[in-house]
Amino acid sequence: MRKLRVLLVEDHPSVVIGVTQALRDHHIDVVKSLDNATDLLAQYRAVKPDVVVLDIRFPIGPEGIGAGRQLAEVEPNAHIVFFSQFDDAKLVGDAYKLGGLAYVLKMSHPDVLAEAIRRAAKGESWIPDDVAQLLAQRSLRGGSSPFDGLDEREKEVFWRVAAGQNNEQIAAELGLSLRTISSTRAKAMAKLSITSAVEAAHLAERYKEFAPK
């Protein structure tokens, strides 16, 4: 039986090592790993994997959703599994809409990722149970939140501002420049029509069910 070949796009070395080892037990080989999505299209064409396992956020380069969309448009036969720490229903919906075949949360058991890869290699779309629950909860809430218009980095910054962190603390925690944090904070607040950390805290308390876990 031929092993499935995976191109893994993930910026945390410890995750790359753990995923590679776990998938090996499932007869799946990570034949190439990238720490950002900048060269995803070129590497996909060079490696010709059965499945691309793609993270959502990277410190540099394009976000995973955008990179996945570009790959799916140019290479419609690409089989993409999104692999993320973000249990965000809007992100999940976007991932499937652009042609992703599965969305797997990083806290899931490795068996879940392996199953998603096996199905994706056959061109099958699959929604793991925990992700299906996210989508169901969003549907029951009416499908929207005040944070739907924010991208993932803006959400990360917003929730930290709401928790009382200043720009310097957020920059250090996320490993980003102070300039990037200041710009992202301004964009998030403009989208939410708020102007201060106090307003952010009030908004976060009002919609605390949308807070990251």
Q: Of 146, 144, 178, nearest to 162 (Cα)?
A: 146
147 contacts: CB under 8 Å, gap ≥ 6 = 155, 158, 192, 207, 210
- The arithmetic mean of pLDDT across residues 15-28, rounded, is 96
CATH code for the domain defined by 4-140:
3.40.50.2300
pLDDT of residue 123: 93
Strand partners, 6: 30, 51
Structure tokens at 184: 């992202």
pLDDT of residue 140: 54
* pLDDT for 134 beyond 80: no
Residue ranges per domain, the chain? 4-140, 152-210
What is the average pLDDT value for the chain, to the nearest integer?
A: 90
The model's pTM is: 0.68
Q: Which CATH architecture has domain 152-210?
A: Orthogonal Bundle (1.10)
The yes-or-no answer to whether 4-140 and 152-210 have a common fold is: no
Structure tokens at 181: 């944090």
* pLDDT for 182 beyond 60: yes
pLDDT of residue 46: 97
The torsion angle over the Cα atoms of residues 121, 63, 59 and 137, rounded to 10 degrees, is: -80
The residue among 19 and 151 whose pLDDT is bigger is 19
Burial label for 31, CB within 10 Å (0-12, 13-18, 19+), is: middle
